[in-house]
Structures are given as structure tokens and as C-alpha cells.
Amino acid sequence: MKQPAILILFFVAAAMLQCYPLAVARAQTWLSNDQKQKLAATVAYDDSDTTIFTAEGMPSLTFSQAQYSDSWKDGVNSIGFRAAFLSSTTYIRKRVLFRNSLDMAYARAKEREAAASVKKEDRLNFNSVFGYRIATASPFYWVGQLDLKTQFDVGEDAKLVKVSKFFAPAYIIASLGMRYQAEWGLSMAISPLSGRFTVVCDTAYAKYVDIDFAENPRYFRAQVGAYSQLAYVSNLNKYVSVKTTLELFSNYQDNPQNIDVDWTTSVSFSLNRFFSVVFFNRMVYRDKDRYTAKDGVDSAGNPLWVTKGPDLQWTESLNVGLTYRFAKK
């Protein structure tokens, strides 16, 4: 990403850190005494033999349907669904921290008399962090982190050309560095040494992720660079939960000034124990990504297609439906 956009992102991150003390003070008024005690236990900075394990998850299933009469002037008949699952586990003992999180979502919709449904959302994200606290009474850890991003199903571009499927591609980041873990859900990791690996399990899809056939006969690309992650995960109160993660990667070997960005945000508003409203937003910028778009029509009225990019990619969804939240401490 070019320099002005980089500065904007870092200013946003700095503003979040500046506002953090106020958010903590506000959050304290939302929690019950029991919640405060449980939260304090999960981040106790001591070397006791107490083992703390927490697990939580939130599966959800939503449906959408729209029907229009023949006399209605506009509108497209459609039916669709969205399934999602968000979970995390945390293990703490003495100065050791081990945390895993899984974020999955899949959505399809069928419009009018179309022969097949269209994929609307598809993601499979897994993150694992192993840390060792630098000092007894410190929120800083030496960490090793593994992050995996891929999709479940076949994806198509604007020309209905198949450009992706499960593990084609998959983006894997392995990093070593330092992590700041605050007691109210804020974390920040910085790794000056990290590797990003692009894996394509099917040869037909390698050309869509800028992998050269001659140089990569196994359809595998490795990059060495710097990686940073800023995340905030919290149940603000019993009705609202927030998860946002900003990831930055700079490739040392190729245009390190063009930083790749991946920013996801999920906000859940619980209406009651089983119904909720979930908002999801994701913005991605990868310096090597290209995409196909329409650019006018020719003299016969046929669409003209051009290759563009790199550019900022974004997606958002708002869903209302069945949601069940569980937790074990």
C-alpha cells in the first residue's frame, strides 16, 4: 500500500491506543463483580501453579428470502443462507500463554431462475499463538505465531471464471517476535522476522495468485518480511461483543514500502439468548493481487474486460438469525 495510506493506518492504530485507557475505564462500569474477578484471574501476572483454561464459541445460522410479484416494478427474487462459527481457547500457566482461535463463515444465495446459487461469503481463518512472559509482572511476551487463511469452496471472478477453491490459495504466516497482551482484550504483536507462504494445491489456480510456474513447480511461494498485528477482542457488555484485527506485512525482498493489509471487524448484538445481529467487515490490500473488471462495451455491445490492481478489496455483511454463545472457564 502506498505511503499516504500507510500513514493513515498507523495514525488509526495510534488513536486506538490513545483511546484505550478511556475505553478501559468505561468498560469497568459495564462488568459485574463476578465478571471482573474472572477477567482478573485470566491475566494474573504471577508464577503460581494455577492453570487457567477458557474456551468459548459462537455458532450462528441465518436465512434470507425475497419475493416479488410480476407487477412489481423492480426487485430480484432470491433465497439464501449464512452459517458461521467463531471460537477461541486460552491456556495460561505460570508464564506460559497458549491461545488458538478459529473463524469460519460460508454463505450462498440463489437469484431468480438461476440454475445455481452464488457464493456470497467464504472464509476459514485459524490463528495460534504460543508465548512466554518476559517477566513475572509484565504484559509482554516472547511469542511464536501461526496464521492461516483460506476458503472452503470454489470462487469465481466477474467473468464467472473459477479463480479459487479450498487451499488454492492458502496464505500462511509464521512469525517470531514480541506481543503485548492487555487484560481488557487489547493485544499488539510485532515481528521483524516472519515468513509468509502462499500455497496453491491445484495447478489450475496458480496464475491467479501471481505464482510463476517455472520458478515454483510445486505452486508454493515463500516471502520473508516484517509482520505486525493489532487486535481487540471483548464482550463490552452482555449484549455486545467486538472483535477487530489489523494485520500488516512488508515483504523485504520486493517493494517493502508497499505494505499488505488485512483488517477484519466483527460486531455481535445479542437480542436474547438465541437471536442476534452480526455485522462483519473485511478490508484487504495485497500488492500482488489483480482482478478483472468491466470497462465499457465494444461496438457490438459486448462488455470489455480489463485487468486492474492492486487495489483495496472490501466486503461487508449484516445478518440477523440464530446464534448461540457458549463458554467454559
- Phi, psi torsion values for 175, nearest 5 degrees: -140, 155
pLDDT of 85 reads: 93
CB contact at 8 A, 321 and 63: yes
pLDDT of 146 reads: 96
pLDDT of 144 reads: 96
pLDDT of 183 reads: 75
Low-confidence ranges of the chain (pLDDT < 70): 1-49, 69-74, 210-218, 290-292, 329
How many folded domains does the chain comprise? 1
Indicate whether this model's pTM tops 0.85. no
Q: Which amino acid is at 71?
A: S
CB contact at 8 A, 268 and 237: no
pLDDT of 214 reads: 53
pLDDT of 224 reads: 95
The half-sphere exposure of 68 on its side-chain side, counting CA atoms within 13 A, is 12
Domain span at residue 25 reads 3-328
